[in-house]
Amino acid sequence: PRDIADLRDQPLGVMTMVARRLKALQDSRGKDTPPVTIVAHSMGTFIANELVRRFPSLRIRNFVYMAGADSIQSTLDSVIPY
């Protein structure tokens, strides 16, 4: 998949490190992986939206956005595919 290459090619920032570790955990446990919930507040919604746009194969079940600062359109574009 496209995002596996993205995981290797992304700059080594915190978001990429989290995505790599989460993907490795999900791959190692397969269907036994517990559901993942993304919780973001205010400016964190920018990061959460970018995370799911860059790494669409991460298996995420729930999104909890509190007082999201990112636009509604950006959030819809990011979250609706899930």
- CA atoms 44, 45, 48, 54: torsion sign: negative
DSSP-derived 3-state class of residue 32: helix
* Range of weakest confidence among 9-13, 24-28, 39-43, 50-54: 9-13
Helix residue spans in 1-82 (DSSP H) = 2-9, 14-29, 44-54, 72-79
| pLDDT above 70 for 75 | yes
Which residues share a beta bridge with 63? 38
Over range 15-40, report the average pLDDT.
Answer: 89
Closest CA to 81 of 53, 62, 54: 53
DSSP 3-state of 31: helix
